[in-house]
């Protein structure tokens, strides 16, 4: 909101007002030099390590380039044609979308529930924040080691717990029907703290008078939550959902570390497929083409979200 | 702090509202219930840490014995930790992670703050386009860049060097945006006065803007540091030599090397987790503010 206010007038009135007294004096030229001088260090890194790889990746995707350097001639869109006919590519894309769907829902809903509970004026706030947020600080490898151990079929905590309530053991990471859910459980444990903190901060920003007025009108806790908190959290929820979808689409680490994409490719993500096509299949050009298909998908989803939120706020 | 001051006044009207025909005020009972639920969940959330610790403190025989038990038959031992520290590269990897993450954080802060300052405060030609390109780049997913970046690093002969780990990780476009928004709020009068006194841009930036921006700089720094510390995919690709691995990548190699040595696996995972947990205990408030401000400013 504040940016809208500062940038909007700058577009029309501010430059006129500012440069009018000095007209086309050395000041504006000095500003040009200063502006680019301050931007230069970032720009160098930006061009070298973001823009250039984007361009060279696009070019690479049109070649048959391999990791050994052979056959780097332009082959046109052949890589893309091959990718679109590649069942494994579609399968890993499907796995990624499935993971995104079944991870985003709990990561938003449970985070909101936890934040709402903790925000009910509970004692020892720091303790709850510490408990729910600390896993977020772990490296994916640590999380994967923890959970692979708990998912261990004979020695793991999960099956032991199931046995205590009389449920037969589950092959957590080895059953194609269960493996993705096992990864999602680990992911929710690992990353929920971030969304939880965002919700907690947003809840604490809601003016207390709203609740006081509502409680004078006789609204109970549930009523207050649904008619005050939830609507006020709208923008935060939109933001968390967008960030979460974009983050989940990029999933690779914890899946690769826990299942290596197995069993039988049931959990292989699109990022893993990009990685394997390039580094174990040695086909850099093909790998780059899949990267661009993945990027196209992310772009589409992002544009759809921008469009949806625009429409809603308009 | 904010939480306790916010929630306390909220209790008062409810207490005084008892005289009114208030059907369901937020009774202490519901708060007790909420505390119990949250406490149970918090305990559940800590189980992986506890179980990893219990396992790491067992002998390998006890760790692999069924039925599983929290308390080992032959008592707790520090054997697994000792073995991991003696034979492994964990200290080296920790130093690698520390050094590369610190370097990434420092470079990110310097280049992001200065470009954000230029966009926020200096009227120069092309700045709108520059900001537009930086904002647009937020959408580029890092995994898309790994193949061309690998090629680039290979061409530059930087694979298996610290440079390969550091250089591609210093562009954080969202952070430029977050910093720019913060700089926008610093009163222009402060700057105008200094300009009148003949101070240059660089001087204004380093002596006025940066000191006033400490909270947001700390938030960005913590955020970038945690991200760099835990990054896996790029360091996994950019390094092979054991002495150059970062902690997360090193752990991955340990896992395949140790195979079924459960106690040692958990001991190394815990040793790897320790540094950031300690950092969190010291900087809890700043980290939470960092998530709230940098995360919320993402809109």
Give per-residue burial for A280-304: e unless 16+ CB within 10 Å, then b: eeebbbbbbbbbbbbbebbeebbee
Q: Which two tokens stand for residue A297?
A: 């998908």
From the list A57, A123, A250, the residue facing B147 with the nearest CB is: A57
Across the interface, whether the CB atoms of B152 and A295 are under 8 A apart is answered no
B33 touches chain A (CB under 8 A): no
A295 touches chain B (CB under 8 A): yes
A140 touches chain B (CB under 8 A): yes
Interface of B with A in 68-107 (CB under 8 A): 68, 107
Q: Which two tokens stand for residue B150?
A: 């690998």
Across the interface, whether the CB atoms of A294 and B144 are under 8 A apart is answered yes
Across the interface, whether the CB atoms of B205 and A154 are under 8 A apart is answered no
The per-type count for chain B, helices as H runs and strands as E runs, is: 16, 0
Interface of A with B in 31-50 (CB under 8 A): 31-39, 41-43, 45-46, 48-50
Q: pLDDT tens digits for chain A (314 residues)?
A: 343 443 334 334 344 444 444 444 556 888 888 899 999 999 999 999 999 999 999 999 998 888 776 666 888 888 999 889 999 999 999 999 999 999 999 999 999 999 999 988 788 888 898 899 989 999 999 999 999 999 988 888 998 889 889 888 888 999 988 999 999 999 999 999 999 999 998 888 888 888 888 877 777 777 788 888 888 888 889 889 988 999 999 999 999 999 988 888 899 999 999 999 998 888 899 999 999 999 999 999 888 888 887 766 65
Across the interface, whether the CB atoms of B31 and A121 are under 8 A apart is answered yes
Chain B hits for A134, Cβ within 8 Å: 49, 277, 280
Query: Which residue is closest to B19 within chain A, CA to CA?
Result: A216
pTM of the entire structure? 0.86
Across the interface, whether the CB atoms of A45 and B248 are under 8 A apart is answered no
Instruction: Report d(CA A309, CA A239) in Å as an integer.
Output: 10
From the list A56, A117, A271, the residue facing B148 with the nearest CB is: A56
HSE-up of B153 (CA within 13 Å, CB side)? Answer: 25
- Total CB pairs under 8 A between chain A and B: 318
Give per-residue burial for B204-241: e unless 16+ CB within 10 Å, then b: bbeebbbebbeebbbbbbbbbbbbbbbbbbbbbbbbee
Q: Which among B163, B191, B128 is positioned nearest to A39, based on CA atoms?
A: B128
Contact A276, A147 (CB under 8 A): no
B185 touches chain A (CB under 8 A): yes
Radius of gyration for chain B, computed over Cα atoms and rounded to the nearest angstrom: 25
Instruction: Report d(CA A246, CA A306) in Å as an integer.
Output: 13
The per-type count for chain A, helices as H runs and strands as E runs, is: 16, 0
From the list B26, B130, B147, the residue facing A288 with the nearest CB is: B147
Question: In the block, which residue shows the tokens 């990780």?
Answer: B169
Give CB contacts under 8 A, 24+ apart, made by B87-95. Answer: B88/B254, B88/B268, B89/B242, B89/B243, B89/B245, B89/B250, B90/B247, B90/B250, B90/B268, B90/B271, B90/B272, B92/B243, B93/B245, B93/B246, B93/B247, B93/B249, B93/B250, B93/B251, B93/B272, B94/B247, B94/B272, B94/B275
ipTM of the complex model: 0.84
Q: Which two tokens stand for residue A228?
A: 């005050």
């Amino acid at each position: 909101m504040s940016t809208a206010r500062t940038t909007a007038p700058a577009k029309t009135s501010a430059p006129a007002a500012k440069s009018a007294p000095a007209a086309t004096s050395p000041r504006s030229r000095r500003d040009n030099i200063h502006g680019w001088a301050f931007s230069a260090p970032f720009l160098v890194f930006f061009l070298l390590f973001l823009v250039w790889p984007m361009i060279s990746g696009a070019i690479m995707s049109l070649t048959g380039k391999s990791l050994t350097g052979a056959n780097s001639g332009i082959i046109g869109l052949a890589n893309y044609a091959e990718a679109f006919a590649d069942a494994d590519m579609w399968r890993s894309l499907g796995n990624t979308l499935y993971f995104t769907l079944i991870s985003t829902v709990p990561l938003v809903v449970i985070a909101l529930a936890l934040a709402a509970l903790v925000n009910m004026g509970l004692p020892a706030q720091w303790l709850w924040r510490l408990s729910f947020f600390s896993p977020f600080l772990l490296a994916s490898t640590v999380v994967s080691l923890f959970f692979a151990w708990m998912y261990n079929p004979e020695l793991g905590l999960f099956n032991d717990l199931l046995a205590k309530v009389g449920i037969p053991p589950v092959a957590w990471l080895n059953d194609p029907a269960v493996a993705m859910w096992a990864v999602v459980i680990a992911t929710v444990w690992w990353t929920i703290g971030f969304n939880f903190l965002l919700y907690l901060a947003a809840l604490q920003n809601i003016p207390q008078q709203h609740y006081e007025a509502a409680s004078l009108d006789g609204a109970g806790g549930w009523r207050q939550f649904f008619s005050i908190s939830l609507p006020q959290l709208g923008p935060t929820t939109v933001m968390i959902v967008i960030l979460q979808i974009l983050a989940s689409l990029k999933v690779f680490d914890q899946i690769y570390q826990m299942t290596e994409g197995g069993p039988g490719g049931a959990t292989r993500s699109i990022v893993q497929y990009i990685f394997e096509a390039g580094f174990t299949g040695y086909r850099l050009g093909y790998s780059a083409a899949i990267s661009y298909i993945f990027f196209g998908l992310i772009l589409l989803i992002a544009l759809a979200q921008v469009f949806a939120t625009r429409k809603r706020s308009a | 702090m904010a939480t306790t001051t916010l929630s306390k006044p909220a209790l008062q009207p409810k207490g005084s509202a008892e005289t009114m025909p208030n059907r369901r005020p937020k009774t202490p009972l519901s708060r007790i219930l909420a505390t119990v639920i949250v406490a149970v969940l918090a305990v559940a959330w800590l189980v992986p840490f506890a179980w990893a610790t219990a396992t790491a403190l067992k002998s390998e025989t006890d760790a692999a014995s069924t039925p599983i038990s929290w308390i080992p038959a032959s008592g707790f031992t520090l054997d697994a930790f000792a073995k991991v520290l003696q034979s492994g590269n964990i200290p080296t990897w920790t130093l690698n992670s520390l050094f590369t993450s610190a370097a990434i954080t420092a470079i990110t802060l310097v280049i992001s703050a200065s470009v954000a300052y230029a966009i926020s405060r200096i009227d120069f030609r092309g700045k709108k386009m520059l900001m537009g390109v930086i904002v647009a780049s937020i959408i580029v997913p890092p995994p898309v860049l790994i193949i061309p970046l690998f090629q680039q690093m290979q061409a530059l002969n930087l694979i298996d060097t610290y440079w390969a780990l550091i250089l591609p990780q210093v562009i954080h476009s969202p952070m430029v945006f977050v910093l720019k928004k913060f700089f926008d709020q610093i009163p222009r009068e402060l700057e105008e006065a200094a300009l009148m006194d003949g101070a240059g841009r660089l001087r204004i930036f380093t002596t006025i803007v940066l000191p006033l921006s400490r909270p947001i700089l700390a938030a960005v720094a913590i955020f970038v540091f945690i991200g760099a510390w835990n990054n896996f995919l790029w360091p996994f690709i950019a390094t092979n030599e054991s002495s150059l691995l970062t902690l997360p990548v090193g752990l991955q190699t340990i896992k395949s090397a140790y195979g079924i040595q459960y106690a040692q696996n958990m001991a190394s995972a815990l040793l790897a987790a320790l540094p950031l947990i300690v950092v969190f205990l010291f900087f809890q408030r700043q980290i939470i503010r960092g998530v709230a401000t940098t995360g919320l400013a993402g809109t």
